[in-house]
Amino acid sequence: MDIESRVVHVARLKKGLSTTHPLRADELRVIKAWLIERASMKPAGNAFFVSQRRTALSRKKAWAAIRRYGELAGLPMPAHPRMLRHACGFALAGQGADTRLIQDYLGHRNIQHTVIYTEPFGTI
């Protein structure tokens, strides 16, 4: 996260393309507020997301939180982190983003993995 340059660097897993994304003003406000809150927690390391124990938030805890928030929202199926990724792809397509931009944003090497977001009634 580079607040001064207003960008976030994304390192991808699973052979995805790592990218840098601009941060919008509303995103910057939320991030700055979180960084103030995080600093007050006096975290043990430099992880962006930390647990109540002040250590890096584990993937297992993040997964559990997403599942719990899905239940609280009344979703008809168990929520999982990948749903956030798909929601992002569909949101970008709904805002009229070009397929190549969505491909870059999601880190897809193959455009065929991206076109599902731009087809009517996506097929995920």
| pLDDT, tens digit (0-9, with 9 covering 90-100), for 91-102 | 999 999 999 999
pLDDT in tens, 41-55: 999 999 999 998 999
Q: Is the pLDDT of residue 16 over 80?
A: no
> CA of 84: how far to CAs of 39, 40, 78, 99, 109, in Å?
26, 28, 13, 18, 19
Q: pTM, whole model, 2 decimals?
A: 0.73
Cβ 99 vs Cβ 72: under 8 Å: no
